[in-house]
Amino acid sequence: MSSPITAKDLWSLTRVGQPVPLPDGSAAVVPATTYDLASNKPTSLLYRVDADGSSTRLTTRQASQPAVSPDGTRLSFSRPVGDGPPQLHVMGLRGGEAQVLTDLPLGVGEAKWLPNGTGLVVAAPLLAGHPSVAATVAEIEARQDRHGSAIVTEDRVYRYWKRWLVGGRIHHLFRVDAATGETTDLTPGMERMLTTEAEPAGIFDISPDGNEIALSLEVELPGRPYFQFAIHTLAIDGGAPEQLMEDLPAQQSRPRYSPDGASLLFGTQVEHAHYADRVRLTRYDLDAAVAKIISEDWDRSAGGWEFTGPSSVVFHAEHEGRTRLFTTNLAGAPPELVDGEASWHGPAPAGSTVWCRTESAAQPPEIAVVEGGDARRVSSFNDAALAEIEIGKTDGIYVQGAEDASIEVKLVFPPGFDPDRKWPLLHNVHGGPHGLVNDDWHWRWNTQVMAAAGYVVASVNFHGSTSWGEDFTGAIRGAWGDRTYTDMMAATDALIASGYIDEDRMAIAGGSYGGYLVTWITTQTERFKASICHAGVTDLLGQWASDVTEGREKAVGGVPWEDMAAIQRWSPMANMANIVTPTLVIHGELDYRVVITQGLALYGALQHKGVPTRLVYFPDEGHWIETPANAMTWWEEFLGWLERWV
């Protein structure tokens, strides 16, 4: 007999990664990760999944970042060597011993095969300020003998999410011989970033003739307090990367060569210092040296684009509350929807097949293929486990929100839901603020686990959410708590009017901007019996300690040295006179995006006011709670607080 899902069940499920297809599309290599709660560690495995869904079999253990050779006979992947970092390995797809190809001091990241199969290009980090293998090795050894801990910088952006950029890592591109392992740094001496993330993904591509690499590379622009990336090309034998365009938009990302090598397709954002500016597909004619945006008239943001033919392209985009697959061409044909229900993303074309992942709020990610307009799931990594778990039903409604806008509310019901009974309500408030609650399986804020505790879980895609167009996304800039509050109250009223919500048992919970909105709402109303603020922005002035402050004046209405009133108008800490809602505050010490003082200030203020408050502090976590043991504590505290007050 099945039982409602628990947090322990969530961590027992297999987490399925992006498929890497064989050249003919008949099968794909799929990374899958499982977690051991006792050891608090993950295990990464690679599987071969057939396109007809007939077979899924283990290929190799303790491996990640797979790449299949152009002839479909060999598989490269990264795997730790001893107690050291992950190194590049190659083995036959039919099995056999894996050969270790690299011995780089900080390990390797993403790898791509050269078209002729003689070698690979791999992104691998070296220490900033020590931009050669020898210099990095020497610095690692020298650091073992140092006792001081000071970090000194004059950089505007000096840390990012949960890592310090000062003295940190800069990714280089290396060419690795597939037979001998001979490794050549193609970007020696480079101190510019290939990515702001700890691990690169999709940031470079190799031309069809194997003579050139296209990469997204940081552009040094003195006086600009933000990162800017532009497309460059680099000869396969190395040399100085060449910037394609002198006149730059805000950002350029993810270059992909057309199959004939005549064009590059990449993403363009045009508004500086606004991460949610939509990504436009851009074609660059390599012979004419001319760029043209081909999706300017389409009011969505593209991602994950890949070529399916000389001119045809498949990509994913958020669209009305789901991530969907679309097709277009280099001429800029209007994008066409190609998949069915749920969310589909990460297209990987091979032959006549497009591999991808599919998921929903009721189904963890699995592997799927699209062939001739037919989209189907072909893997079943979690089917056996889910057969023992009762999953809550999902639904959705639209309500009339601020300025008469139609606002989506996603719903997850507890197992055994009876609409003739009264149920407690839990609002799950998304972050961003320019994000959304997608129709997907969230591994951290899982609405199924929330609903299984006996709550109707509502996720409101309020003004500011993505996937409904640029105007809707930008509607809250300069007034974070305005339209969003109206939307949240409209959703609450509509759910109460449905007849199955007990308005005396309602709670709200959110993280990041979601934590901001949770706290702002409790400064405006007493109707909720409990609130949970995870990594929440509580003091807009204090967010100048954040890792990235670019665009902050547009987001919150100004800068404090010019208009403090505008900052305080929408800052929860300046509007807490009437707050009475029992509040659980959760924060991580290593959160550099929403700094720890944001949570501590909220806790301190509410304690001073005598409001029931509980602090959950993680000294070894950042913006997200990522390790199994800490996540289990997070869920115990989260559900325990709701049980106590709701």
SS3 45: strand
- Which pLDDT value is given to residue 89? 97
The residue whose two tokens read 């091979």 is 350
How many Cβ atoms from other residues are within 10 Å of residue 55's Cβ?
A: 11
SS3 146: coil
Is 152 inside any structural domain? no
Rounded Cα gap, residues 599 and 618, in angstroms = 12
Is 589 inside any structural domain? yes
- Which pLDDT value is given to residue 168? 87
Per the CB < 8 A criterion, the answer to whether 618 and 630 are in contact is yes
Rounded Cα gap, residues 275 and 256, in angstroms = 21
Is 562 inside any structural domain? yes
Is 246 inside any structural domain? no
Per the CB < 8 A criterion, the answer to whether 127 and 106 are in contact is yes
Rounded Cα gap, residues 345 and 367, in angstroms = 10
As for how many domains the chain has, the answer is: 1
- Which pLDDT value is given to residue 94? 87
- CATH code for the domain of 627: 3.40.50.1820
Rounded Cα gap, residues 438 and 359, in angstroms = 10
Is 377 inside any structural domain? no
Rounded Cα gap, residues 640 and 565, in angstroms = 38
Residues of the chain with pLDDT under 50: none
- Which pLDDT value is given to residue 153? 85
Rounded Cα gap, residues 624 and 611, in angstroms = 26
- Which pLDDT value is given to residue 225? 63
Of 443, 440, 442, 393, which Cα lies nearest the Cα of 414?
393
Rounded Cα gap, residues 408 and 460, in angstroms = 6
Per the CB < 8 A criterion, the answer to whether 517 and 434 are in contact is no
Express as a percent the part of the chain with pLDDT over 90. 83
Is 406 inside any structural domain? yes
Domain extent, residue 562, equals 392-645
What tokens does 588 get?
Answer: 């991580």
Is 354 inside any structural domain? no
DSSP, res 475: G
How many Cβ atoms from other residues are within 10 Å of residue 191's Cβ?
A: 13
Per the CB < 8 A criterion, the answer to whether 89 and 99 are in contact is yes
At 640, the amino acid letter reads G
Is 27 inside any structural domain? no
In this prediction the pTM is 0.94
DSSP, res 499: S
- Which pLDDT value is given to residue 223? 66
